[in-house]
Amino acid sequence: MSDLTREALNIEDLRRMARRRLTKALFEFCDRGSEDEIAMRDNRTALDRIKLLPRVLTDVSGRDPGITLFGKKHALPLLIGPTGIAGWVWYRAEIALARAAADAGIPFILASTSSTAMETVLAEGGGTQWYQLYVWRDADATLVTVARARDAGFEALVLTVDSPTYNNREFDIRNGANFPPRVTLRSAIDGLSHPRWLFGTLARYALAEGRLPRFPNIHFPPAAAGAKNYTAGQGAGFLSRNDMLDWDFLRRLRDLWPRPLIVKGILHPDDAVKAAACGADGIIVSNHAGNVLDAAALPIEMLPHIAAAAGTRLKIIVDSGFRRGSDVLKGLALGADAVAIGRATLYGVGAAGEPGARRAIAIFDAEIRRTMGNLGVCDIASLGRNNIVLPGQMPSFGAPAGDFSVSGANETRPLTVIQR
């Protein structure tokens, strides 16, 4: 039995462990981005270039990273975002992720394309769960799912709007990682070279459920009789994303959904304002981790503009590229109310199931608390722009008081002293 606290000191360690356990095709599906992976890379670069500006000699012994979202308290400013593939990386990973989130006191968002029925995840996972919605070609059939999620008791609905067409993932095409998966000589060799995944996950589905993972939360329209599985649904075009959605659909959802409604995949401040006008309670500022539009703007860069435009009308969650507690604090300081993670917990569950997911959250937890301490911050609400130095933008501190020049033998050079 591996000791994750020693083996996985950070999210990158969990990523390496997941890489060893999963097939190449599956790992790259989880890990890589679309086209040239520019958005994915730049999400990280942008976060790395933002600096935190510590304040010292403030008593930070009582720091508390808790937040309140939609009237409910959470232990960390963190959520587990939806990743539809989770059920393929671990047997019933959705339940593992939900349990890990519940134990840590943070929300879990169940993806539309998850492999376990939403009612089962809700009952066995516990905690705060939100449901993520993709809208397929037949929008009315999709609304059946909304009614089901409402009746099941999901606490919020998250409508993903950033991918009206499927993304161009060349790595997946090369790896043959299309859905539904086809068994080829290459995929068979890939599977046999990863026996822990093959027997621990795939064979478990076959033994326990008599089949490979499916998509039990997707509703097919009556016209799709006989298309009750993904293969037939896709073949008949029922699983095409709906590229006709507009703001009216969001208003329609608002009428149907009685609890918090969140729009995921906003990057433009005007769209945030429109979402609020249509009755949304929150948004997720996201470029889908660089998985959709490779030339997309970066969430962390758009965040302050969106926060300024939205004011207090919306709760703002940001995601895409967050791997460290310090990243989370940067997002909060730039205007987010919380940060969602996708790959970090997906690596965790792919590496070691529920303990791996727990480990991923525990790493963020420790890093957030440690960074708060070193930043001189006791609570999340007090984080703001004065905790941040943006690339190339030295904050203004007003005129330095007094004469801070020092005279050398041959020169007088200014001494940079910052005083508030």
Ligand X SMILES: Cc1cc2nc3c(=O)[nH]c(=O)nc-3n(C[C@H](O)[C@H](O)[C@H](O)COP(=O)(O)O)c2cc1C
Binding site for ligand X (CB under 6 A): 29-30, 81-85, 111, 113, 132, 160, 264, 286, 288-289, 291, 319-322, 341-344
Cross-strand partners of 191? none
Nearer to ligand X, 177 or 372 (CB): 177
Nearer to ligand X, 262 or 388 (CB): 262
Rg (CA), the chain: 23
Nearer to ligand X, 108 or 376 (CB): 108
Q: How far is the CB of 394 from ligand X (least distance, A)?
A: 29
Q: Which of the residues 74, 194, 219, 288 is marked catalytic?
A: 288
Whose CB is nearest to ligand X? 342
Phi, then psi, of 205 in degrees rounded to 5: -60, -45
Cross-strand partners of 389? 51
* Other beta carbons less than 10 A from residue 237's beta carbon: 12
Residues 318 and 340: beta-carbon distance below 8 Å: yes
- Label the pairing between strands 129-133 and 412-414: unpaired
Look up residue 101 and give its two tokens.
């989130």
Phi, then psi, of 51 in degrees rounded to 5: -115, 150
Look up residue 349 and give its two tokens.
């569950």
**Taking the alpha carbons of 383, 63, 346, 94 in that order, is the dihedral positive or negative?**
negative
Burial of 212 (0-12, 13-18, 19+ CB in 10 A): middle
CA distance 336 to 79: 12
Q: How far is the CB of 326 from ligand X (least distance, A)?
A: 15
* CA distances from residue 95 to 45, 80, 91, 108 in whole angstroms, order as listed: 33, 12, 9, 10
CA distance 277 to 65: 31
In the annotation, is 74 catalytic?
no
Q: How far is the CB of 367 from ligand X (least distance, A)?
A: 15
Cross-strand partners of 339? 78, 318
CA distance 206 to 270: 48
Q: How far is the CB of 254 from ligand X (least distance, A)?
A: 19
Residues 290 and 322: beta-carbon distance below 8 Å: no
Q: Closest Cα to residue 285, out of 15, 52, 46?
A: 46
* Other beta carbons less than 10 A from residue 8's beta carbon: 25
Residues 77 and 328: beta-carbon distance below 8 Å: yes
Nearer to ligand X, 63 or 317 (CB): 317
Q: Closest Cα to residue 265, out of 324, 328, 342, 327?
A: 342
Catalytic residues, by residue number, are 288
